[in-house]
Structure 1
């Protein structure tokens, strides 16, 4: 069994045995049509592990704190869906050029107060970023939460994330690619 298969089994067990805040039950997984629709709407593919979570575990409702967002449609508990939230964030970034939303960075989990865990879909391993909109400026609002989605999931399953009470003094490194990924293309 591959490491990813083992991880998916652990996540499935964690998803069955814990409910994030606001989720009374684990939603059914999405089908391949929903993933294809999401990717067509976004204009980029989901990292393979992220797609597998939605296809095999559930349409959100598992993971740390408030859990993964649903992929396309919001939840009964009021959680927004990842794809529409990404589109709204990109649109609001165009209205406020001081707070651009990077292309290909999909919000996957809401932390409250406008904060999100996001997956960099331009990275095949899915670097997990933390967006903190309460910073003074956008350059200080983006941090690397985990080098890849697998590490982020292991951290949650092991109870070792920064969001755990015992780990509240953990520091995250700023995301060095923010300005590169949000710079406007130069006219030639």
Structure 2
């Protein structure tokens, strides 16, 4: 089991070493505002990252989004995607999954705030050809802590040299996608 206090500290050290110009962490009022707009609580570890490390700007590749813009932010991206999904015949974005970073090419990493461990999901819409969006959702990590540990170890599928390591775990289809998308529609 991961010591969350230690993990948050190691993430903070890595974030500071990777970027000399991190945004300041957000205060409790800003987290409360985000949760009020989302309509649910952020996963506790995600809230700690924003409150103790920085308001985005750290993490793998394109780095975590800020809670609110300017530009893309967790709250705005989530609300936009959910609004498009609520009345859709085939909802694309499940309730409770907040986008935390973009991988580019319309791909996102998201944290399932409704799961105990904060599953980290990959949304990869590029092969979408109509109908249900379930084939576009993948489980990247069983929990946010595990995902962060993978990033800290430089062992994620998203690392530049990942193809050289046959032990790198690839995201797998998210077995809850169909049910979660169905419950997210009108």
Question: Same fold by TM-score, threshold 0.5 exceeded?
Answer: yes
Distance in 1, Cα, partners of 2:58 & 2:184: 38
The equivalent of 2:159 in structure 1 is: 164
The equivalent of 2:43 in structure 1 is: 47
In structure 1, stretches of 5+ residues that fail to align are none
Cα 1:185–1:87 shift into 2, 3 Å: closer
- Aligned Cα root-mean-square deviation (Å): 2.1
The equivalent of 1:109 in structure 2 is: 101
Q: Is the 8 A contact 2:86 2:184 kept in 1?
A: no
Runs of 4+ in 1 over 3 A off after TM superposition: 184-187
The equivalent of 1:30 in structure 2 is: 26
Secondary structure of the residue aligned to 1:165 is coil
Distance in 1, Cα, partners of 2:23 & 2:174: 32
Residue 97 of structure 1, CA deviation:
2.8
The equivalent of 1:121 in structure 2 is: 113
The equivalent of 2:145 in structure 1 is: 150
TM-score (normalised: structure 2): 0.89
Aligned pair 1:131/2:123, yes or no? yes
Distance in 1, Cα, partners of 2:143 & 2:183: 26
Distance in 2, Cα, partners of 1:110 & 1:136: 18
Cα 1:56–1:133 shift into 2, 3 Å: same
What are the Cα deviations for residues 29-68 of structure 1, in whole angstroms up to 9, with x where unaligned? 0000000011111111011100000000000000000111
Q: Is the 8 A contact 2:119 2:144 kept in 1?
A: yes
In structure 2, stretches of 5+ residues that fail to align are none
Number of equivalent positions: 178
The equivalent of 1:180 in structure 2 is: 179
Distance in 2, Cα, partners of 1:167 & 1:157: 14
Aligned pair 1:73/2:69, yes or no? yes
Cα 1:184–1:51 shift into 2, 3 Å: closer
Q: Is the 8 A contact 1:30 1:54 kept in 2?
A: yes
Residue 73 of structure 1, CA deviation:
2.3
